[in-house]
Structures are given as structure tokens and as C-alpha cells.
Structure 1
Amino acid sequence: MGPERPPMTEQLASIASRFQLPGRFVSAVRYGSGHINDTYLVELDDAGARRRCILQRINHHVFRDVPGLMRNIVRVTEHIRRKLDEEHDPEVPRHVYSVLPNEEGGWYIQTESGDYWRALTFIEGAHTYDVLETPEQAYQAAKAFGRFQGLLTDLPGERLCETIPNFHHGPTRLKQFADALAADPCNRARFVRKEIEWVEENEWILLSLADGLRSGLIPERISHNDAKINNVMLDDQTGAGVCVVDLDTVMPGTGLFDFGDLVRTCVVNTAEDEPNPALVTADPLRFEALVEGYLASAGSFLTPAEIRHMVTAGKMITMMIGVRFLTDFLNGDVYFKVHRDGHNLDRCRTQFALVDRLAESDKELEAIVRKHARLD
């Protein structure tokens, strides 16, 4: 008899047995740095051959409609797989992951405790980065997200469900902020008068993309909505973008949401929670790498209006997360995890400082976009 398995391993083995996996469960370890779902890398034995897959517990407190979320993911991944097959892509299994069915052929299971689990194929020979290291990585990440959007421009069928309604909707985030400010449940508004005035002066930025979508100037597209460097796998050998992952927030929006999030997370030189906002800068070389990579794959389908809003998108998404941090600070730090007093306030101030740095570089950044989009 082999060594006794720890209780969590036994639980994971039991859950794994309810899916049609390509092998027998051997072991599982925590995987990745995500804060929403619980992710495990599972090792399998397939008649002596080693295989791996992902087992993931879905946070149904954040994603309230798990069936709708999984329908989105299956539709998106199957459509991308068909498109890649039509292109005769020799590495389709590496360029889009698959959802592995459960025993009955469904795409997830629910345990007696109410938890939702799913199984996914694992992309070998590639990994994600939590911190951007080079402009080339920015280029590859942006190119991968642009490619992802392009493959979904002709997704047939009904509109995807909104897995988190109004996630990037500026007016909604402003109302949530205004409600928190009016209630001021923790008597904290007195500490953030400067930040409150900043939001009031710059609220047009937060409304810009919503106004464009409502008027039709900016077309609705399927977007990832969490486009960060650690949500794209880069090849271990070449560094090329291999596969966009973490598709829980794939839903209707605009491709500019994704480009804006790449700007927010890739051009800044400090941590998201840097206590001294005076240290925040925006690196134009990284911004140019993002523009070049994104347009290399998305330039063929973007409209002139979308291209003209690329710089604004970076400011808008950055301001939005800053307002969300400020709202949570006013509400008593109830949404985002905090690890010190004023943590959400530090995060907010860093985001607002980045918006200011981007605004100060407006002309330079717009010139970069025009150069690579050949608008002049």
C-alpha cells in the first residue's frame, strides 16, 4: 500500500473522477497566482505516459451565473478551434484550451457543498508572467489579445451573457462611487477630499467609452475584459504569445477595454499598491510595444474611431480601477483584499497618478498610435 494521501488530495481525486480526463489521477498542486478561483495542476497517468490538466473551483460568489459563464467559454473556445482548424494551424491544442467534459458530457460539476468545478486541458511548453520584464513581452501579449479578439469577430449565435454585469461600465462605477460617498459608512470621506475632487474633474474620462458604445461610434465586440500580462501564456523557447487564458470575463464589450487594461498593467513602473504616487511613471517604450503588437493582429478589423480612442482607453480603464479602489475604501474595504491600513487608498492614488502621467504624455502617445496605424 502506498503512502496515505492528504485529505485535500483525496477530495481532488474524487472530483477529478467525475470528469473524462485523459488518464488516471496521480497528484495535484496549487497552480498560478489568481485570487478569484482555486486552480490546481493535476498530474495524470495515461498507460504509463505522463499527462497534465487543470482542475478549477469556480468562485460562484463572484460569478453568479456559472452555467452562463461555462456556455460562454465553450462557445468561444470551440469557435476559435474551428477557425484555427480552417487555417490549418499545426498547433491548435496549444493555441486554444479545451473544456473537458464531465461523466454525463456536461462542462462542470457541482458538489454537495455547492461548489462548482471544471476541468481544462493544460498548455505545455509555455507559462505566464506576473510582472512584465521586457517590451517584447508587452508586444507579444498585446498581439495575442488582438488575435483573440479577431478570431471572435464572427462568433455566430446569440449575444454572450454578461458574467459580471456592467463590469467596465463607467457610469455604473461612478454611481457606485457617488453612493459610497453619500453614505460614507466609515466616516472616511474626510481623508480623501483631494481624490474626490480629482474624480469630479476627470469623470469625462470614465464616461468616454460608454458614450462611444451607446452612440455606436465604437462598435460592440467580444472582449476578454481582464487583459493582463498574466492572462496570456508565452512560449518557453521563443517568447511568442501562445494562448489567452482565464476566459471567465469574456463577454460583450469593446476591444478597447482589453487594450486599456494592457496599458494599465504594462506601462507603469511601480507596483499597483505603491505608497508613494510621486514615483509612478508611464514608459512610452512599453506603450509603443503594446500599440505595435495590438495593431499587428487587430489593425485589420479595428475602425478609425477605435484606433483614435486607444490612448483614451488606457486612461479610462486605469481611472475605473482607481475609482473602484476609492469606492471600496469609502465602504470599509469590503471587496478587495487589503493587507495594511490605507491599502485601497494607496492603490487608488497609484492609479490616479498613472492617469495623470498618461495625460501628460497624450501628444507623444497619440503620435505613437498614428505612426503604427498609419493614420497620418
Structure 2
Amino acid sequence: MTKEEKLKQVCSQFTFKGIFDEAEPYGDGHINDTFKVTYVDDDKKPTQYILQRVNHLVFKNTVGLMENIEHVTSYLSSRITKEQQAEGYEILTLIKTKGDKSYFQDDEGNFWRAYVFVKHATGHTFAEDANMLYEAGKAFGQFQHLLSEYPAESLIETIEGFHNTIWRFKNLKHAVHEDPLLRADQCREEIQFALSREEIASTLVRGLESGAIPLRVTHNDTKINNVLLDDTTGKGRCVIDLDTVMPGSALYDYGDAIRSCGSTIAEDGENLEDLKVNFEKYEAYTKGFLEAMGRNLTPQEMKWLPLAAIIMTLECGVRFLTDYLEGDNYFKIHKENHNLIRARNQFKFVDEMEKQLDVMTEIINKYWR
């Protein structure tokens, strides 16, 4: 059976309308296999869908993951306002199988799912201007606003302990102690930088445990490429990639977004003298996020928003450093010492944000309502 025949066979399990025409690889995701599928009606008018093979080696409880997505998207569809729809905001829509399930499992044990294709909208790897970040922040803020009353505890953790910084630091200390490749001596300064901030890094985890901040539904991968922007208006159209939607803190999502977009250089850039907080990008994302979600945040969440950006960046640096010590088993590397370079970059960004904490707080207070 050819690849196209296989895809056609999988497609036949879903309630697509029309006759199968073609399926082609789509996007640049690194975890799931994604295809754009075209069906045509009797007049050859095309309708397109997204078909994905879920990587069940990464997401081991794929059934639970799909239940999360099914319940969350259904709830979002019931909550979206006419005003949001008029502005073009859309909810990712699952296509059911002919057996009325949210996924199809083939004879080889692979899990497949399908979505309505969002037309005339694109995911961007990099923000070309601050307005793109404003629209991304607003879209993620709307996503969390619509889910603000959803019972987050009813969702499963698709990746257990994903933002558990206490656990991340335990892994780092274990990697330092074991030092299987004798790399620890090359990064003593970075190890000390991280460990000296271990207590502050646990703030959000402790806050959730104590009830100081509420448990919410979180996206957990708030990079700009997970918002489709309208090709004509540039507005945020649809939040995608819901595999890591699970219980957590809104501060995780905000902090990780700033981590990914708020620096003046790329996360593996080596010229650290050029690394500063890009306040134009920081303010643009913050403004969009708070315009949509600010009214739902508690005073304590608002107080910890700038700290969240520091903690999420520190956590990511710890993960890079741990992977470097363990032999680069998790993050793909493309040059020598790549994960150590990434860790140094993230720690420098942490240092810069610590110095600018008052300015970051002023910007947040400017848009809280």
C-alpha cells in the first residue's frame, strides 16, 4: 500500500464531505504528522481538512488527550460570543469519525484525528512586527477567557509534570550528581546560576498547591506559531495545537509566551551582549493578553505576571542544561554544545528581566483593568 493509499484509507473513516482528491504534508511541526486533505463535490468544488497522526510515543495517553481536546473545543464553541465571531475569531473544530469518535486508531496502533481547515490564515514562526504579537496575545487571552469557568481539574495531564519546576530542579541536580559524560565542569557557572534561584522558581507550583493562585485550563505552548493570523487583516483567528491543553496556571502561558518572544535575539543566539528585554514586543503581547484576559485574573496572578516570565525562562534554561548534562537526549541539537548555548541564552534573559522587573511591572499595571 502506498502512502497516499494509506492516507485515503484513513480518511475514509472520517465524516469528510465529498470525494477524496489528495493529501499532502502540511506545516513544519516536529511531533505529529500533519496533512492537508482535499475533498471535492460533484462540481469539483474543493473542501479542505487537516488530518494528523498523533505521536503516541510522546503523548502516551492519547485517548485521554483526545478527550481533553473534544471537551475543550466543544465548550469553547458554546462560549464564543457573536462579537468574537464577527471579528473572525474561530474555534478549532474536530471532525468526528463515522463511528462518532474524536479519533481513529488504525491496525498498527496509530491514532488519527481531523479538523476543519482554517482558510486564509497562517501560523508564523517569527513575529515580523509588534502588532503580530499583540494579536497573538489577544488570541491566547481570549482562549483563556472563554475557558475561565471550565473545571480544569476534569482534564488529564497530557505530559505529567510539564511545568513542575520543583521536579525540573530535581532532575538537574540528579544530572549534575551523575554527570555521565563529565560535562559538569564545563558549566559550573550555569549550574550555580540555576540552583541559586531554585526557591523562587517554585513560586507558581507552590502557589497552585496552596490555592494562592487558581487552577485554570492552560494551553502550555503559547508560541506565536500556535495562533493562526488572518492573511488579510492580521487579526488572531484561531488558537491551534491543543495537545498540551491541561490543568495549570494562566501564568505558565503568559510567562512562556514572553520567554519565546520577549528577547532581542533568538533562543540559541550566542552574542549575549546583544540580549536584552525587547520592550516593544513585551508590551505588545502583554497589551493583547490583558485586554482579553485581564478581567479574569486575580490580584495575585497580576502581581506574579512579570515573575512568571522569569520563572518560565529559568525553567526552560534548566531543561536545556539538564539535557546537555545527560547527553542531549531530548532537545534536537544542530551544533556542538547546542543545549549549553541555549541554557546560557535563557539564563542571560533571566538576568536581564530581573534587572528590568520594575519596568515590566509598570507595563502590566498600564493594561490591567
**Class of the TM-score when normalised by the shorter of the 2 chains:** over 0.9
The one-letter code sitting in structure 2 at the alignment partner of 1:63 is: F
Structure 2 counterpart of 1:59: 55
AA in 2 matched with 1:149: Q
* Counterpart check, 1:183 vs 2:168: no
Give the equivalent residue in structure 2 for 1:72. Answer: 68
Which of the numbers 285, 289, 312 marks the counterpart of 1:317?
312
Q: Quick check: 245-254 or 17-26, which moved more?
A: 17-26
- With over 3 angstroms needed to count, the CA separation of the structure-2 counterparts of 1:362 and 1:44, relative to structure 1, is same
- Aligned match of 1:120: 115
Tell me if structure 2 keeps the 8 A contact 1:212–1:218. yes
Report the alpha carbon displacement of residue 245 of structure 1 after superposing the two structures with TM: 0.4
* CA displacement at 1:109 relative to structure 2: 1.5
Match of 1:107 in 2: 102
Q: Which runs of 5+ in 2 are unaligned?
A: none
Give the corresponding residue for 2:148: 153
Question: Counterparts of 2:153 and 2:305 in 1: how far apart (Å)?
Answer: 28
- Partner SS, residue 63 of structure 1: coil
1:103, distance to aligned residue in structure 2 (A): 2.2
Corresponding letter in the other structure for 1:225: N
Q: Distance in 1 between matches of 2:222 and 2:310?
A: 15
Aligned residue for 2:14?
Answer: 19
1:1-376 to 2 correspondence within 5 Å? Answer: 7-47=2-42, 48-84=44-80, 87=82, 90=85, 95-155=90-150, 159-373=154-368
Which deviates further from its counterpart, 132-141 or 6-15? 6-15
Go from structure 1 to structure 2 and tell me whether the alpha carbon gap of 1:94 and 1:119 turns closer, same or farther (over 3 Å shift): farther
Contact 1:81–1:92 (8 Å) recurs in 2: no
Check 1:90–1:360 CA distance in 2 against 1; reply closer, same or farther (3 A cut): closer
Moved more, 106-115 or 344-353: 106-115
SS at match of 1:192: helix
Cα distance in structure 2, aligned partners of 1:89 and 1:196: 46
Q: Taking structure 2 as the reference length, what is the TM-score of the superposition?
A: 0.95
- Cα 1:359–1:61, aligned 2, differ >3 Å: closer, same or farther? same
Is contact 1:260-1:310 (8 Å) kept? yes
Pairwise CA distance, 1:88? 6.9
Flag the 1:79–1:215 CA change in 2: closer, same or farther, 3 A: same
Q: Bigger CA drift: 16-25 or 140-149?
A: 16-25
Q: CA deviation at 1:110?
A: 1.7
Cα pair distance change 1:243/1:370, threshold 3 Å: same
- Kept in 1, the 8 Å contact 2:25–2:35? The answer is yes
- Give yes or no for contact 1:43–1:52 (8 Å, CA) kept in 2: yes
The SS at the match of 1:100 is coil
1:35-60 deviation line (CA, Å, top 9, x unaligned): 11111111111232111111101111
Cα 1:278–1:40 shift into 2, 3 Å: same
The 4+ residue runs of structure 1 with deviation greater than 3 A are: 86-94
Cα distance in 1 for partners of 2:210, 2:188 equals 33
Aligned residues of 1:72 and 1:160 also touching (Cα < 8 A): yes
8 Å Cα contact 2:169/2:318 also seen in 1: yes
Distance in 1 between the 2:266 and 2:88 partners?
A: 34
* 8 Å contact kept, 1:94–1:123: no
CA-based RMSD? 1.7
Q: Distance in 2 between matches of 1:92 and 1:251?
A: 27
1:61 partner amino acid: L
Would the alpha carbon gap of residues 90 and 327 (structure 1) be closer, same or farther in structure 2, given more than 3 Å must change? closer
**Per the alignment, in what secondary structure is the counterpart of residue 266 of structure 2?**
coil
In 2: Cα distance, 1:182 partner to 1:21 partner = 54
Q: Do the aligned partners of 1:39 and 1:55 also contact (CA within 8 Å) in 2? A: yes
1:188-236: CA deviation from partner (whole Å, max 9, x where unpaired): 1111101111011122332121121122111111110111100011111
Percent identity, aligned pairs only?
41
Distance in 2 (alpha carbons) for counterparts of 1:349 and 1:329: 11
Distance 1:46 1:257 in 2: 44
CA distance in 2, matches of 1:291, 1:180: 35
Structure 1 counterpart of 2:270, one-letter code: P
Check conservation: 1:93, 1:123, Cα contact below 8 A. no
| Residue pair 2:19, 2:39 contacting (<8 A) in 1 also | yes
Compared with structure 1, are the counterparts of its residues 100 and 93 closer, same or farther at alpha carbon in structure 2 (3 Å cutoff)? farther
The 3 A distance-change label for structure 1 pair 20 and 91 is farther
Greater Cα shift, 35-44 or 151-160: 151-160
Change (3 A) 1:309 1:157: closer
User: Which residue number in structure 2 is paired with residue 3 of structure 1?
Assistant: none
Superposition TM-score, scaled by structure 1 size: 0.94
Alpha-carbon distance, 1:94 to partner: 5.8
